[in-house]
Structure 1
Amino acid sequence: MLYLIGLGLGDVKDITVKGLEIVKKVDRVYLESYTSVLSAGKDELEEFYGRHIIVADRDLVEQGSDQILLDAVDKDVAFLVVGDPFGATTHADIVLRAQSANIKVEIVHNASIINAIACCGLQLYSFGEAVSIPYWTDTWKPDSFYEKIAANRKRGLHTLCLLDIQVKEPTPESLTKKIKEYQPPRFMTVGEAADQLLQIINRRGAGEMHQAYTKDTLCLGVARVGSATQKIVACPLQVMRNIDLGSPLHSLVIPGMMQILEFAYIKQFICK
């Protein structure tokens, strides 16, 4: 049996009772460690669960997941995922591959940023398509998500911007020399995301019929949702560029048409 278990957003205690009971009884426990991060580290999780945990990094999940599935053929295996198990397409792929191998799968859901983002005061049913904002390089600066933000705003819908996480990214040298060498982990901040969004409208110009946003568009930056140090700030996009919300993880929200109750709620987060 393969169990995909959501860990929620905050500390070790955010796992559900059902999930914890499974972790304590299975033969092997894997922790997916690259699509998101938990505020607690591996050692803290092991102490709380009373179990040894195998860290499933990017290489193992994307290239060596056969080992995880092989374990689940004749053992009970728990695959722990920060947030909800279906928060990343990678996990859906693992489920499909397990089903193809006739391995039984059970999903234990939990909170993720997709539903917890309502902490900023905007109603979940008024969110449109979420977008991902990647780190740019000198030669790669995609902005295809701009149209999705514009489409949401045209319909009066809010946009959740999921910010890039780079864990165990290979260095350029390792790609050419075929050696294993990785860059330090990076987690995009709301300031970095705002800066890239502003660069996009500067190079596109202001003449578009349906602008996704302007430098004065009110937006919300959220950090460490679900933790004791959760922080939320509301300000114009050009101000968000200089906002420091501290340690990861960060997300950015660009509101659409706000109801009276929504605006009344987010007023508490507006920068003074």
Structure 2
Amino acid sequence: MLYIIGLGLADEQDISVKGLEIVRKADRVYLEAYTAVLLVAREQLEAYYGRSVILADREMVESQSDDILKDADTKDVAFLVVGDPFSATTHTDLALRCRQNDPPIPTRSIPNASILTAVGATGLSLYTFGQTVSMVFFTETWKPSSFYDRIAENASLGLHTLMLLDIKVKEPDLEALARGKIIYEQPRFMTVAQCASQMLGVEEERAQGICGKEALAVGVARLGSEEQQIVAGTLEELSNADLGKPLHSLVLCGKKMHEMEWEYVRGFAVDPKSFDEVWRKDYSGKQ
């Protein structure tokens, strides 16, 4: 059987008791290591689980999945995922391959916390979130702005938008690849400040008032850990915020932010007075 096991968001102790029991008995244990990363090293997981863990990068999961699924119809294979098993479509694809195998490989998922639910720590109601959006690193020649359309759809309903920020783990250097050499770039993790800056840049082009300087937002970092940090303010303020080490995410607040949400979120404000002024002017009474 293939077990797809959620690890939660922070460290080796976030795994469920049920998940830990499966890991300790499995024939092979893989750790998916590119859609998200834990805040601790693989060695720390191995010490806690009492098992060797095989890192599964993008190439292995997408192009060498047969190696992961080998003998899974007769042996137990644990596939560890940061957050919840089905927060990323990659893991749904792996489960589909099991279903389509001849004979089919039985699967079981063990759920855990993910950013999709942990973001409730900001005080924003999970009931009033719209579509989740990904923000990629911009380059000089590539600045995709399709995310803006999804945010605009959420904004039209007054809903909050969770922005999942880009991470680059084991990415090939394209210039080296063009010369026939495989060299990997240093890992990079987008910050709240970078995301806010890119949103402001796209707003200058679109000019629809969706991601303006006074749009209220909440930046989060390392949710679920003892070093968790939450900062609220305008996008302009967050474009200068330093939330420290990865992983970061950002929430753009919807205009129908309830008074209870405002009261909770303002406790994280960079400048509570400024936050209150913007909320009363642009958000209060829009419910």
TM-score by length of structure 1 reads 0.96
User: Is contact 1:162–1:252 with CA below 8 Å preserved after alignment?
Assistant: yes
Runs of 5+ unmatched residues, structure 1? none
Cα root mean square deviation, aligned: 1.0
Q: 1:178 to 1:65 in 2, by over 3 A?
A: farther
Change (3 A) 1:16 1:169: same
Name which of 210, 213, 217 aligns with 2:211: 213
What TM-score, normalized by structure 2, do the two folds share? Answer: 0.91
What SS does structure 1 have at the residue aligned with 2:251?
strand
Structure 2: 5+ residue runs without aligned partners?
Answer: 272-287
Q: Match of 2:252? A: 254
Tell me if structure 1 keeps the 8 A contact 2:200–2:211.
no
- Which structure exhibits the higher relative contact order, with contacts defined as CA atoms closer than 8 Å and separated by 6 or more residues? 1
Residue type of the alignment partner of 1:219? A
Amino acid at match of 1:226: G
Question: How far is the alpha carbon of 1:113 from its aligned partner?
Answer: 0.2
Residue type matched to 2:142 in 1? Answer: W
Counterpart of 1:36? 36
What SS does structure 2 have at the residue aligned with 1:195? Answer: helix
Deviations 1:117-176 (A, max 9, x none): 000000001000010000011111100110111111110100000000110111012431
93, 109, 112: which one aligns with 1:110: 112
Distance 2:71 2:205 in 1: 51
User: Percent identical across equivalent pairs?
Assistant: 54
Q: Deviations over 1:210-232 (max 9, x none)?
A: x3231111110000000000000
Q: Secondary structure at the match of 1:221?
A: strand
Alpha-carbon separation, structure 1, partners of 2:155 and 2:211: 8
Task: Please tell me whether the aligned partners of residues 150 and 213 of structure 1 are also in contact (alpha carbons under 8 angstroms).
Answer: no
Local SS of the residue matching 1:248: coil
Which stretch shifts more, 4-13 or 71-80? 71-80
Conserved? CA contact 1:190–1:241, under 8 Å: yes
Contact 1:151 1:212 in 2 (8 A): no
Asked if 1:52 corresponds to 2:42, the answer is no
The whole-number CA distance in structure 1 between the counterparts of 2:222 and 2:180 is: 36
Q: How does 1:42-121 map to 2 (within 5 A)?
A: 42-101=42-101, 102-121=104-123
When the two structures are aligned, how many residues end up with a matched partner?
268
Structure 2: distance between partners of 1:67 and 1:170: 22
Alignment of 1:84-233 (within 5 A): 84-101=84-101, 102-204=104-206, 206=207, 208=208, 211-233=209-231
**Separation (CA, whole Å) in 2 of partners of 1:160 and 1:244:** 19
